[in-house]
Amino acid sequence: MSDLIEQILATVSRRSYLPLKPKALARKVGVPGHQYAEFRKVLRQLIKSGRVEMGKNHTVRAVASQGTVVGIFRKHPTSGGFVRPHATDGKVGPEIRIRDDDCLDASSGDEVLVKLTRKARGPDLLARGEILQVIQRATNQFVGTYFEREGDGLVRVDGTVFSHSVFVGDPGAKGARPGDKVVFEMLRFPTPEDRGEGVITEVLGPHGQPGVDTLSIIRAFGLPTEFAPQALDEARAVAANFRETDLQDRRDLTRDLIVTIDPADARDFDDAISLSRDAETGHWSLGVHIADVSYFAPPGSALDQEARKRATSVYLPQRVLPMFPEIISNSLASLQEGRVRYVKTVFMEFTPQGQRTRVSFCNAAIKVRQRFTYEQVFAVLTAVEKHEPPPLELAPEVLDLLQRMRDLATILRRRRRNRGALELTMPEAELEYDEEGRVAGAHFAVHDFSHQMIEEFMLSANEAVAEHLASQEVAFLRRIHPAPEPNKLRAFAEFARGLGYKMEMDGDRFALQRILELSAKRPDVYAVHYALLRSLKQAIYSPQEEGHYALASDCYCHFTSPIRRYPDLVVHRLLEQWLSRGRVGSDATELAALGEHCSKMERRAEMAERELVKLKLLTYLDERIGMELEVIITGVADYGFFGQAEHLPVEGLVHISTLTDDYYYYDEASHTLMGRRQRHRYRLGDKVKVNVVRVDLQRRQLDFRVAGKKKESRAPQQ
């Protein structure tokens, strides 16, 4: 055993070693298959003793030596970058500033080993370090625009990842023409002194050709587009064997009044609602019925392996990359109107005041009576409130159900607010298209009470399942949102006070809640809410017993979207164990690695969606240089201010060099650019008319210039 310990430690300590998963490490060390169990036992001992550790993606690596830190590198657009250390005992250390000369050839997203050269001293002086080694690359595949210069083929990489274009060989490689979007594999990463080298692997097509922008984002983020043949074969076999008349010993709820409420363009429906109220006691009985995808994709199946790898569906403009093949996601598992579908149901009883008193779970079969869109429900409830006829022809019992849902959701929402839940309002773009599928405009997505109503029911079901699994004393994949660092909340409090908001206790969640509510009806709403968002930590998936700060929930998990989120499917399987055997078992180490993978894939999906929406909007504006917009100032710095358009979901920069009517200086305390002579000022929340003057599609940047006299916002009403 001692020889095996030495072999493992010697292997993972080599400078050339790249982190491997346990099986791959066993093969590298030379462990025969029949001795793998012993290898795992030794590895667990080394982890327990702190001599090696499980890192990113469940890989094994040596423990960093004293004075060094392992973390994820983020390149700064102009120079150098930052490293965010990995969590230790659930806590993440302060970010480390890396100068340009100390970055080696690290790229954004890479896992790196950093030597600390200066410790952090308070919130204003960051720790500093130098990168000793790039442990693991985030990706070797990049997308950019091909061009030629002096007989060389070069690619200008999309975004602000690299300051240099990358050499990709002789002109015309792979048939590329100047202006084409191409995918290339990086052979040698750029440094401040060297442009690096790559090889073109795919030509996507000319810049501006329909569909090329979407394909560029898909390739840049490494999003999977095709399903493995084995997964498709399994999906077809499951479909061939499925019979709506076979209820599989499930509770028959097909005659119950059950509805779905989803976006108008939804393609999969994984949640449905039933709700009744006892006339005598006033108690509510809420049924949340969730598509039972676990029935179609057992653990270890090809469908499961494919879903696990993807971890989430990706919703891009005009295109969805589902976690499961459409046979499953849009048909068998989707809770379609009038079709018998398998579900896992959570029944919850609430008092008239909304306190949950009882919970039960079952496997069931349902038949959705009616499918609603959010817009339809909002229109119906608005008409009822105004004592007008509903715009839809509804059966009396269906109309009664919608009103009951409104009443219970209102009660639950009030209770959640009373316990300190924070509701952040962030702009979400919805693109508008012409007949040819090109962007013709955009608007901010509506988030009215019809959305909030369903949210409340889903939150209740998620909490009920999480509390039940916690009562079984089993590790499960929670959705956790750690409490923010006190210094971050202090900084936010100073920011809010600078805008005129009263905030006496920096870390009090009810004080934060009040600021969010006060700002909701003011022009600086996005600036305030975004500032708080940056103060909070990121929500992640983990078996760690920690609550959800923003929701003010001590025990929370994701259960209600198993068609599009793998963590929900994992929770479904644990619940199935309890339903079928009365007991539950899990592996906390495996769940920790899975949670890290799912969190990473979730961030990738969100970033890809944001990037494509931004690219399409910038392309739209690139054809409208000079267009006048009214913007609200959302950020101020010494180099200018950022403005968010009021009626178009875009944000651009007004550089200070374009403010030629006066000499402006930056007042940090009041977040204001102040003119020295005429005392003109630009501060957070002010309205300003601007013109679009420059669109940089390559770097995803938008520049404005002030068009007319600004309108100052009013002081907040306290």
Q: What is the DSSP string of 607-639?
A: HHHHHHHHHHHHHHHHT-TT-EEEEEEEEEETT
Number of Cβ within 10 Å of residue 167's Cβ equals 19
Q: What pLDDT was estimated at residue 717?
A: 42
Helix axis angle, 36-48 to 2-13, nearest 10°: 70
Helix (H) or strand (E) holding 23: helix 22-29
Rounded Cα distance between 696 and 345, Å, is 50
Rounded Cα distance between 31 and 4, Å, is 9
C-alpha distances (whole Å) from 536 to each of 90, 376, 481 are 15, 35, 9
**Residue 176, SS3 per DSSP:** coil
Rounded Cα distance between 139 and 597, Å, is 15
Beta partners for residue 319, in sequence order: 316
Rounded Cα distance between 551 and 548, Å, is 6
Block means of pLDDT (10 residues each) for the chain, 718 residues, are 74 77 86 86 79 77 75 81 74 80 86 85 75 85 93 90 86 90 93 88 92 94 95 96 92 97 89 96 97 96 96 94 96 96 98 97 97 96 93 95 97 95 85 87 88 96 97 96 87 84 78 89 83 89 94 96 97 97 91 91 94 93 94 90 88 94 88 89 89 92 84 45
Q: What is the DSSP string of 411-461?
A: HHHHHHHHTT--------EEEEE-TTS-EEEEEEPP--HHHHHHHHHHHHH
pTM over 0.75: yes
Hunting for tokens 């982190």 — which residue is that?
A: 19
**Residue 72, SS3 per DSSP:** strand
**Buried/exposed code over 478-507 (b: 16+ C-beta within 10 A; e: otherwise):** bbbbbebbeebbebbbebbebbbbebeebe
Residue 661's contacts (CB-CB under 8 Å, 6 or more residues apart) are: 675, 678, 680
| Burial tier of 272 (Cβ tally within 10 Å: 0-12, 13-18, 19+) | buried
CB of 126 closer than 8 Å to CB of 97: yes
Q: Take residue 351 and report the two structure tokens written for it.
A: 């008092």
**Residue 20, SS3 per DSSP:** strand
Rounded Cα distance between 539 and 569, Å, is 18
Dihedral sign (CA 166, 168, 171, 174): negative
CA angle 597, 600, 602 (to 5 degrees): 110
Q: What pLDDT was estimated at residue 718?
A: 42
| Helix intervals (H) in 480-631 | 486-498, 509-519, 525-535, 566-581, 588-622
Q: What pLDDT was estimated at residue 714?
A: 43
Q: What pLDDT was estimated at residue 186?
A: 94
In degrees rounded to 5, what are phi and psi of residue 377?
-65, -45
Q: Take residue 415 and report the two structure tokens written for it.
A: 């209770």
**Residue 409, SS3 per DSSP:** helix
